[in-house]
Amino acid sequence: MSTTPTAAATTRPVAAPSRHQLALMIWLAVFPTLTVLNLTVGSLLKDANTVLRTLVMASIAVPIVVYLLLPRLHRVRARLLSRGAAR
């Protein structure tokens, strides 16, 4: 029976991001998402009124940002902070 701790057991949890870090992470997720959506879907919605266009864009962008991009950015941040703490 091995008594050596696993990598998961030896890593310390990373503190929650500060407001500034979270704002940067959200910006890093939202800006490219909206840019890509405008380039791909924007032409389909060019004749729609502003409220409908915004509703459609937000309905597509928010799930992408919340469920796909922000979790990945949190993992990247944790990896960077744990790598810096190990030095």
**Does the residue 3 lie in any domain?**
no
Is residue 43 situated within a structural domain? yes
Task: List pLDDT tens digits, range 16-45.
Answer: 999 999 999 999 999 999 999 999 999 999
CA angle (15, 74, 85) in 5-degree steps: 50
Question: Is residue 4 a part of any domain in this protein?
Answer: no
Domain assignment present for residue 28? The answer is yes
Range of the domain at 52: 17-86
Total domain count, the chain: 1
DSSP 11: S
User: Does residue 75 lie within any of the structural domains?
Assistant: yes
Model-wide pTM > 0.85: no
62 is a domain residue: yes
Is residue 26 in some structural domain? yes
The string of pLDDT tens digits covering residues 47-63 is: 999 999 999 999 999 99
Contact 61, 33 (CB under 8 A): yes
